[in-house]
Amino acid sequence: MKKRLKEYLTYLEGLDYENMTENDRKNLKAEMLNQISFFQHERLVHLIVTITFAIMSIIAVFGFSAWPELTALIITALLLALLIPYIFHYYYLENGVQKLYKYYDKCR
DSSP string, 37-65: HHHHHHHHHHHHHHHHHHHHHHHHHHHHH
SS3 of residue 21 by DSSP: coil
* Cα atoms in the Cβ-side hemisphere of radius 13 Å centred on 6: 5
Cα–Cα distance for residue pair 84/8, rounded to 1 Å: 25
Question: How many H-runs (helices) and E-runs (strands) does the chain carry?
Answer: 3, 0
Tell me the percentage of the chain whose pLDDT exceeds 70: 100
Q: What is the pLDDT of residues 70-103, one digit of tens each?
A: 999 999 999 999 999 999 999 999 999 999 999 9
Cα–Cα distance for residue pair 106/108, rounded to 1 Å: 6
**Model pTM above 0.85:** no
